[in-house]
A and B are shown apart, each in its own frame.
Chain A
Amino acid sequence: MSNSTAHINALENEAIYIFREVAAQFEKPVLLFSGGKDSITLVRLAQKAFWPAKIPFPLMHIDTGHNFPETIEFRDRLVEELGLELIVRNVQDSIDQGKVKEESGKYSSRNALQTTTLLDAIEEFKFDACIGGARRDEEKARAKERIFSVRDDFGQWDERNQRPELFDMLNGQIELGQNVRVFPISNWTELDVWSYIEKEKIEIPSIYFAHKRKVFLRDGLIWSHSDYVFQEEDEEVLERMVRFRTVGDMSCTAAVFSEAADIESVVQEIRDSTISERGARIDDKRSEAAMEKRKQQGYF
């Protein structure tokens, strides 16, 4: 598996082009920022697209309240260093307003609840373009996603009626009330993102590197031992060297056993891996069509 500079450069040029189209075609864009590696990569690409000017749109984090503390610390530091505007909207508020109900039981997670909070925030700020770090290689439903993906005012994705995208031309014309989800790194693979982080020396949260953590095992996945994660009494707490390959919130992200403590060893580990990235996403394990269902309802 090779990921030479020429290949990464081509993807980088494409992403910068997309960012500039967003800034030119929309009035109120926002970059959806989770603190994960893909959204951190987006921030770097946006910096490159507009330098020496500042990134001309804010970041927004839809916070489940169940995040890894390392991610939140990292988020706040990055925003401060780059002088960016950060908007945070909380899933807890949507729960308190009675709009969504906390899930209960063994597999409860606030991941799916984010959709309501996101759609409310889009309405509140009248965002017309939401930039996200989704990649087509991640998951089968995402493989069908456009770079400019139009959503109606319920945030719904009509997967059978998408606009054709030809050559480099991106059509961002929408009606009032519609918005567009934009995916500048659509054509990147997981390995591309990691290679780019290595090449650009981009700082990422420490949980992506091997560290000692209290975990427990369930359904062949490694779960974090935490107040936010339901744990049966017979599920024994172990202390192991692990790292996270993908980071959502604590209730939907499983760890992998790893000794990879720096970026070079992480890249090597991804190259050698025989498991897909989303294999460690508890939210995707719910059913074969889990992602497609969430996307139709307005998920990222």
Chain B
Amino acid sequence: MEVLKIATAGSVDDGKSTLIGRLLYDTKSLTSDKLEAIEKTSKKNGYDYLDFSLATDGLVAEREQGITIDVAHIYFSTATKSYIIADTPGHVEYTRNMVTGASTSQAAIILIDARKGVIEQTNRHFFINNLLRIKEVVVAINKMDLVDFSEDRYNEIKADFEELMAKRDYQDQKITFIPVSALKGDNVVHKSENTPWYKGETLLEHLEELDLAAVSNAGTPRFPVQYVIRPKTEEFHDFRGFAGKVYGGELSVGDEVVALPSQTRSKIKEIYFYDKKYQTASRRSSVTITLEDEINISRGDMLVKANDLPTIEKQFTATVSWMDTDNMVPGKKYVVQHGVNKVLAKVDTIHHKINPDYSGIDDTVQSLGMNDIAQVTFKLNKSIFYDKFKEHRTNGSFILIDTQTNSTVGAGFIG
């Protein structure tokens, strides 16, 4: 069993928090003191039902206004999986939060209000999940109780959504439709008697059956060096270990590797996890590697297999998601953090803005504002070692840091 991270997407009032609360309640993940607090507050607010959104909305302002402001993380587990749900807000700053939540997720749930059907927001939710190459998407058609659990309405919405699917870039994404009522609990954890026409799984059943190995993105092994371990003790006098996380594939003792950017060759001598030696380091493990030869490697460098080099270049073009209130303008310099490597970058060209609702591109733009998505070329002061995002989710992505405010102002996917 591993951890499945799920991003949620929905517009205001689509019932996202309620759906998550329902999942928690029906899997008995809400403890009695939390449940009591929900009962108490629901009653105080004069509701005749339990307001499960209270289980997730954490900040005072959120509870007062009944909205979600910031990405919240919710945890629950069943006999087969541990789940982390990123609950992302559905209003302003939406793109920024959705991209953030989706960046660490392997699956996504897109909510649609059955009364409203596919709206402009739905296009955006789908666009972002597709841009981030989320493998598994569930389209939860919610509030079915308010359309009398109508099969016709469900099929209508499904057909509208399928039109969207034809426009997507990442065609391998798997999409599953489920009719639910988060408020009443239909088809969330328990099969509903109100939808006899629906033969598929409930939301939880579907999530339980996802194969984690299949939904996570593999690639070729990349080992960005985070930290050099030099104990300088008597026992480990000459020890020089390169600490980092293995991305994409496995690395083994004896593998012929190249250190970047120096392009020096060596072989993997030992792989440590804590004080034990291993033959192979698996994907996403945080190990310490020693090499046969003494070569100069520092933080930000990368070990790769000798027969499998990434692109090494001083410029690249990427799809950028802008997340700051200050605009991105051509000629401005930012820090590009690519994994653990940092280089200075200059915005060379903003080619065009991509409308995240599938309505085409805008090539008249001069600058990028909050929530804009665009195709941008950067020039760098040093080479980085990258893969294309569609080939390597980790080594093909980066963040942009403002050199003055130090804020994370954007994210990018090298294309």
Contact = CB atoms under 8 A, between A and B. Distances in A.
Interface of A: 1-4, 6-7, 9-14, 16-17, 20-21, 23-24, 47-54, 136-137, 139-144, 159-160, 162-169, 171, 173-175, 186-187, 189, 191-192, 273-276, 279, 288-289, 292
Nearest to B68: A144
Interface string B57-71: 111110100000111
Given A164-B100, A187-B3, 4 more contacts: A10-B284, A136-B75, A165-B408, A175-B406
A11 B3 contact: yes
Contact of A274 (B1, B32, B394): B32
B2 A7 contact: yes
A274 B30 CA distance: 8
Which 7 residue pairs of A and B lie closest in terms of their CB atoms, listed nearest first? A140-B58, A16-B286, A53-B231, A173-B406, A279-B33, A276-B31, A166-B103
Nearest to B63: A288
Contacts of A141: 58-59
A137 B76 CA distance: 9
Given A23-B227, A171-B399, A164 B1 contact: no
16 contacts: A6-B1, A12-B286, A13-B245, A16-B286, A20-B244, A21-B340, A24-B226, A47-B274, A49-B286, A137-B73, A140-B56, A140-B72, A141-B59, A173-B335, A187-B75, A191-B77
A254 B1 CA distance: 34
Interface of B: 1-3, 31-34, 37, 41, 56-61, 63, 69-75, 77-80, 82, 84, 96-97, 99-100, 103-104, 226-227, 229-233, 235-236, 239, 241, 243-245, 272-275, 284-286, 288, 299, 323, 335, 337, 339-340, 393-394, 397-399, 401, 406-408, 411
A189 B3 CA distance: 12
Given A16-B286, A166-B99, A10 B230 contact: no
Contacts of A23: 227
Given A166-B408, A167-B103, A292-B58, A53 B394 contact: no
Nearest to B32: A274
A144 B97 CA distance: 12
Contact of A273 (B31, B75, B272, B275): B31
Given A13-B286, A187-B73, A168 B245 contact: yes
Contacts of B77: 1-3, 189, 191
A289 B286 contact: no
A133 B167 CA distance: 45
B56 A275 contact: no
A163 B58 contact: no
Contacts of A2: 1, 77-80
Contacts of B63: 288
B63 to A, nearest CB: 8
A52 B97 contact: no
B9 to A, nearest CB: 16
A77 B84 CA distance: 36
Nearest to B233: A52
Nearest to A53: B231
A169 B73 contact: no
A164 B398 CA distance: 13
Contacts of B82: 3, 7, 189, 192
Contacts of A187: 3, 73, 75, 84
A113 B379 CA distance: 50
